[in-house]
Amino acid sequence: MAYQIREAAIRDIQTGEDVTIVQPVNLYECTLGNHCFVGPFTEIQSGVLIGDHCRIQSHSFICTGVTIGNHCFIGHGVMFINDSFSTGSPAGGNHHLWKPTHIGNHVSIGSNATILPVRICDHVTIGAGAVVTKDITEPGVYAGNPAKRI
């Protein structure tokens, strides 16, 4: 049986000052601002931009197309999605079908939340386990599946 083994790696990333990364992680072609923390077992893909003073907890997945503002907290196991299966199946290598996600400043996302391709304004808290399926345009606390303001 033929197979490949690839190791987790930190490759071609840009960072600001005082950045802490706890291995193992898989970070490539992304940008981390000043005073950021990235926990273990996290993947941050190419083109992701993370602002200053952000904390990304363990086991999170931040896919291509995500921008995160300043002073944000991403809890354990948060999943960002860039493929909405708009054709009825996975986009696979058709990157032009991937959609962006924009997270504002001072946003906290609870553990095990799932964030579909959306825009989230500043000063929002997303509850643990929430599924964000639509843009959030008003500051506040959102929870549930689908996430609603509470």
Tell me the mean pLDDT in the region 95-103.
Answer: 91
Over the stretch 68-91, which tens digit does the pLDDT of each residue have?
999 999 999 999 999 888 888 888
> What are the backbone angles phi and psi of residue 111, rounded to the nearest 5°?
-55, 140
pLDDT score, position 90: 84
* Assigned domain for 87 exists: yes
* Assigned domain for 140 exists: yes
C-beta neighbour count of 57 within 10 angstroms: 19
* Assigned domain for 5 exists: no
pLDDT score, position 150: 96
* Assigned domain for 81 exists: yes
The percent of residues above 70 in pLDDT, for the chain, comes to: 100
pLDDT score, position 76: 98
Tell me the mean pLDDT in the region 31-40.
Answer: 98
Q: Order of strands, edge to edge, in the sheet holding 101-103?
A: 14-15, 31-32, 49-50, 66-68, 101-103, 119-120
pLDDT score, position 58: 98
pLDDT at 93 over 80: no
pLDDT score, position 85: 83
pLDDT score, position 1: 73
Among the ranges given (10-19, 30-39, 59-68, 89-98), the one the predictor scored with the smallest mean pLDDT: 89-98
3-state percent breakdown (helix, strand, coil) of the chain, nearest 5: 0, 35, 65
C-beta neighbour count of 146 within 10 angstroms: 11
- Which CATH number goes with the domain that contains 61? 2.160.10.10
* Assigned domain for 3 exists: no
The count of domains in the chain is 1
| Mean pLDDT taken over the chain | 95
* Assigned domain for 2 exists: no
* Assigned domain for 36 exists: yes
Expressed as residue numbers, the domain containing 19 is: 10-149
Over the stretch 102-139, which tens digit does the pLDDT of each residue have?
999 999 999 999 999 999 999 999 999 999 999 999 99
Given a contact cutoff of 8 angstroms between Cβ atoms, the answer to whether 90 and 107 are in contact is no
* Assigned domain for 72 exists: yes
